[in-house]
Structure 1
């Protein structure tokens, strides 16, 4: 729960510190500008609110690792929801409107998460999770998108160290293999999810795992 709160607060702060010009830069998500990514974060925050308000009585069917659908094919932008996100982002017109909306719904999502019982069960995507496991998925989501947000901004602060470490743990569990200790948490996440191609030395260090990368999470 603490990792969720820290990761989300840091990401919202990073958005609040963007200049208007930053919104037109390409983000680390292929095909998306920074403004498109921020619009996606608004949708993510809405999903958190909806899920926390959707209690379930059944036994959990998934956890923070099995939540993810993994493919080796990067998104093309043809997915209807991806395309809708771009159109929605453009409709805001002024960057401050996106900032305002994210701060509004994002703050509410953060408060709802802080008030939720970690052991309670909630439902989303026709699956059941404990609140703790569900929110853990967003530690990885927030951390990756924080890296996407600052990709064109070399002077911006990285995500919290605790979130990077937890996200690496989750990605290694998803992969079923550990990244070499020579990889920083940030480099493991960037190369593991295809946000950066590994160097020749990194590929050699990865060994058999290199042939299974990137892990595209959906």
Structure 2
């Protein structure tokens, strides 16, 4: 399945970055404000673990979400930015506490390698057309695309270069823009697109002029 191979490439890209890092390098900051590399490794491992559960949780169709609408939420009132910042800080703090349960940060990388490899194996062998996860029903290829998307974005969060499989994330962002009748500015490269679409880079004045009303949609996913 093409989506399983995209997930393999995305997970292998993350593993290749993490494997040579020293314990101190695993404590370095990432583009996720308040998250160290070790925190992000723990988060990604939990995502791969969720993949294992979802792939073993068949559901009756039709799907309630696609790989695009999985990321979209109903229209909501203007956010309370102070509350949003508190929630982000609480999430980062919870991740830090969970990651710190490991005796030393290098153990988290070993757990990631084992869990991500198992998730890819399960994805390749996935027998169910639809699966349940986080209260939604997704077609299995769409689930795998959401997982690859998150891995690609978090690979960029590690500050160590563009991952080898950006296509799932680009397709997701394109789909989210298309839902609102918008398209990516022609002068954005893939890395800029992913970082701005995930809120890791702020839109410039030029970006906002080019996007027009669609600028208010950013970040497209977090």
Fold match by TM threshold 0.5? yes
2:144 counterpart of 1:135: yes
Secondary structure in structure 2 of the residue aligned to 1:147: helix
State which of 44, 62, 67 in structure 2 corresponds to 1:64.
67
Paired with 1:192 and 1:108, the residues of 2 have a C-alpha distance of 29
Which residue of 1 is the match for residue 40 of structure 2? 37
Paired with 2:209 and 2:55, the residues of 1 have a C-alpha distance of 43
Which residue of 2 is the match for residue 28 of structure 1? 31
Secondary structure in structure 1 of the residue aligned to 2:118: helix
State which of 90, 97, 101 in structure 1 corresponds to 2:107.
97
Preserved contact between residue 31 and residue 77 of structure 1 (Cα < 8 Å): yes
Worse overlay, 90-99 or 67-76: 67-76
Which residue of 1 is the match for residue 172 of structure 2? 170
Q: Structure 2: any 5+ residue segments left out of the alignment? A: none
CA RMSD after TM alignment = 2.0
Over residues 157-205 of structure 1, what are the superposed CA-to-partner deviations in whole Å (9 max), with x where a residue is unaligned? 4211xx3233122112113321111001110111122101123333333
Preserved contact between residue 45 and residue 112 of structure 2 (Cα < 8 Å): yes
Paired with 1:213 and 1:129, the residues of 2 have a C-alpha distance of 24
Which residue of 2 is the match for residue 124 of structure 1? 133
Paired with 1:182 and 1:20, the residues of 2 have a C-alpha distance of 39
Q: How many angstroms does 1:104 deviate by?
A: 1.2
Pairing 1:154-169 to 2, within 5 Å after superposition:
156-160=160-164, 163-169=165-171
State which of 213, 218, 221 in structure 2 corresponds to 1:213.
218
User: Number of aligned pairs?
Assistant: 207
Paired with 1:60 and 1:95, the residues of 2 have a C-alpha distance of 38
- TM-score under structure 1 normalisation? 0.86
Q: How many angstroms does 1:22 deviate by?
A: 1.7
- TM-score under structure 2 normalisation? 0.84
